[in-house]
A = this chain, B = another copy of it.
């Protein structure tokens, strides 16, 4: 039997904390922690939309993900210093944006733009799933800000969105992998789901050996459980 280094059950999340209003300027923000992974999520709401969307009556939501140089075990070089954004950063920024857009009705948002920044202050696996889960909380607060200022055309938040990683390690499927498990995983999958239990995004990769339909089903089951738990934590944070 595979036992986890931190003693968790295979279907158990790491301790998750969501600290809302961590920043003063952004219209919505939180510091989300999945174990030692810490992501600062901030959402700024501004009137108006990008040029290509003007006059459509529709809003826009976009996201940027990045990692501080000292977030990783060995310091990594700044992308601003390198003068270019790496493929991984691009890929995750796009994933976060797509995921959050699934929560939004653009017509109800009206011609407002919400920009979400997810900055990883410390990385210990699952940074993109923590980012999406925290970003939803920041997004909800930014939408509230627009609502309180009478800037909405309706109720744009049609769903909540949460995300979690799952993987297969030594043949066992597990939920919410920290770095030490992630590097050993044969298969690694990130799943984004709505609060009502539908899939928004599935990204599964055979890092080691290819996987079959049965393994895929087990992973999806774990992800459904994890996303449901995260949805509860989001609701608690937003209710407080």
Contacts and interface: CB of A to CB of B under 8 A. Distances in A.
Interface of A: 23-26, 29, 36, 40, 42, 44, 46, 64, 66, 68-75, 78-91, 93-94, 98, 102, 115, 117, 119, 121-122, 124, 159, 189, 193-194, 196-206, 209-213, 216, 220
15 contacts: A29-B70, A44-B74, A64-B69, A64-B78, A80-B80, A81-B85, A83-B83, A84-B84, A198-B209, A199-B210, A199-B212, A201-B204, A201-B206, A213-B220, A216-B220
> Secondary structure at chain A's binding surface: helix, strand, loop or mixed?
mixed
- 4 closest Cβ pairs, A-B complex: A198-B210, A87-B90, A79-B80, A42-B70
B40 A205 contact: no
A108 to B, nearest CB: 16
A90 B209 CA distance: 24
Contacts of A86: 90
Which residue, A66, A119, A194, A205, has most C-beta atoms of chain B within 10 A? A205
Contacts of A119: 68
Nearest to A82: B80
A214 to B, nearest CB: 11
Contact of A69 (B70, B117, B197): B117
A25 B121 CA distance: 11
B70 A23 contact: yes
Contacts of A210: 102, 159, 193-194, 196, 198-200
A72 B25 contact: yes
A23 B83 contact: no
A212 to B, nearest CB: 5
Contacts of A98: 205
A63 to B, nearest CB: 11
B200 A203 contact: no
Nearest to A69: B117
Nearest to A115: B75
A203 B206 contact: no
Contacts of A84: 80, 83-85
